[in-house]
Amino acid sequence: MKNIIILLILFFQFIHHPSVFADDLNPANTHILNPWYIFFNGYQAYQSNNWETSLSFLEQATDKYILYDYAIYYRASALSNLNRYDEALLYFNKIIKEYPDSPLFPSTILSIGDIFLNTGSYEKAKEYFNMFISRLPSHNEVSQALYKYSISLENTGRHEESQNILKRLYIEYPMDKYTKMIPEPILSADELYNRIQNLFNAREYKAVIKESLFTKQERFLMMSAKSLYYTKAYNEAMEFFKTLLDNTNNNNIKEEIFSWLGKTYSNLNQSEDAVKVYKEYMDTFPDGIYTDELIYRTSIISRESGAEAYALELLNKLANKYPLSKWKDDALWQMAWMHYEKKDYRNTEKYLAHLIASPSDKFRKQALYWYGKVLLKLGSKDKAIDVLKRLYLSETLPSYYGVLAKKILEDMGIKSKDAAINPLSVIGDTQINTTAAEGLDIKRARELISMNLTDLAYLELESVKKKTDLNDFIQTGILFRSIGKLNRCRIIGLYLLKNPSMASENHLFQTVLPHADPVGYKTIVDKITASSLIDPYLVYAVITQESGFNETVISRAGAIGLMQIMPKTGLKIAETLSMDKFQVDDLFLADVNVTMGTTYLKEVTREFNGNIYHALAAYNAGPHMVKAWLKKYNNIDTDEFVENIPYRETRNYVKQVMAAYEIYRYVYNPKSDLGFWGTEGP
């Protein structure tokens, strides 16, 4: 019967893929099946739990085949599923000895451990699970190894060691499925705190709050208060912080509480209370670890409430008394901007010059752009042109401020198509070296992709990603993109852009840029953006900034997926789109998330009359906030409005999305005559 099944498979393969068999039908060949089909059919049979059929194919694989380790692994796994353990161990051990770099090596160790565990050979099982834990401490299956290691220890009479391993599992992997299978151990206060810290680092804030209630120790209450803050339960967080502040005698904790309590008041729009807390801190801890930061925060609140003289006094104090503070450049920028708004361009020029000369480059592009604009206002046109050229020419890729500088230069008759101020035009037609030999890992990944085995291809590509050959690195990104793993493709592109020496030798920017800024979900995006105000490249720029093309990411605030949709927003959009069966978990689905995100972006763009800067700010902070800001800062240029956005996150968000938008339009539509600012000039 088994031979009949194989012959039937061969017949249908020959009918549908006759060319593949052409060489194998040559009398000189010893195998009827092409190696590709040996593995493909063996794997398909394995996936269908047809172990005998799977073995019939996989046992024909030879060590000359590029995926021989895969064939061995699934042959061993099929044997194990048939309880032919001695034969399975023979092939699993072959991988351990001969293929230590195989992506299947970790699974092989676990499989050997499982065989010994299932057959009662606990000493041997213990050896392999311990090998996994010690050799692969960062692997995502360590929790499984710990759980099974504890079982092996228990069955060899090492009860105390077994319990310690279970305790480690409970503390280090608090939300893991294996942790949920074990009884809750008795923990010391320090052990419980370590578990809660791991929950906090995993952004499991509700679990932190729940488990911290078992003790009244300050450090636990502090974790609860922070978790309430991050879940935006600011009123509850405030009460926790106030109670802690009133009861603690620990100055280190007290300093931290002051900082958090002030930020909580700010988020509740209780500015006076925030300033009061910050002033109390500065009086109590004049040389405290948060003093410079809280001076800065107090100055911002004071400026927003109209007390500009006091704000300037504080900023000067910060810049002069704390010259090594990481907040010093922030203070210099705020002073420059406050003088700019008062049209005191000479003082603005002075502070911007300090920022340009700063050892930190945090504000350098920003300072250069506004320095150029100030020089124009002061009538120093030639000097302004030099400054703006300096900004634009310093960039490998366009930044928000570099593109603004380009726009000003173009308006002055200095065209960006002139290579003198358009470095992208110099590198725009370059290509990867297609004649370079591909590494074995890339060939293996291609083979798996040709079978549509994308999960295995992903596993293979993850191992290639760790290597340094440039062409293989580029090809890894291309293959990640081909299997829909755009977030992994983007990571490679960003790495190359941050390490230009690796790419610029071969002039690979035209290949690298599509990695760093990929296009995905095009059918959905094109459908929703058709006949609307939204450019599809803007949608891709938003996805890039929101999630980096990671479909499963969840923010601290609870926003989900590619375009970071809040559950409440998702429910509203679902109602608008008549999606009656919508569930919040649907936001993890790419098509649902992109549909909703693009729809919402289209709505806020329409609400703000096509101004994409206002729309982006609304996408991030909410339309009601943007309307309030526009009311406060009316009749000012767009670039000035962006600088005046009170929320740092939203301000940076608009700048980063617009920079990404320019890159997308360059990479995918290089012949476009559209300027960066469209019809909405700054």
Which range, of 18-27, 70-79, 361-370, 447-456, averages the lowest pLDDT?
18-27
Quickly count: other Cβ atoms within 10 Å of residue 511's Cβ.
20
- In tens, the pLDDT along 192-223 reads 999 999 999 999 999 999 999 888 899 999 99
CA–CA separation, 490 and 513 (whole Å): 9
> In the beta sheet, which residues pair with residue 554?
560
Annotated active-site residue in 546, 551, 643, 662: 546
Annotation marks residue 462 as catalytic: no
- In tens, the pLDDT along 359-379 reads 999 999 999 999 999 999 999
What pLDDT is recorded for position 35? Answer: 94
- Give the CA distances from residue 535 to residues 165, 528, 658, 661, 669, in Å, rounded to whole numbers and listed in that order: 54, 10, 12, 9, 12
What's the mean pLDDT when you consider all of the chain?
87
Closest to 609 measured CA to CA, from 646, 648, 642, 638 = 638
Angle at 652 between CA 649 and CA 654, to 5 degrees: 110
Q: What is the pTM of this model?
A: 0.81
Angle at 548 between CA 233 and CA 661, to 5 degrees: 105
Residue 677 has pLDDT above 50, yes or no: no
What pLDDT is recorded for position 42? Answer: 96
- In tens, the pLDDT along 39-53 reads 999 999 999 999 999
- What is the maximal distance between C-alpha atoms in the chain? 94
Q: Which one has a higher pLDDT value, 253 or 667?
A: 253
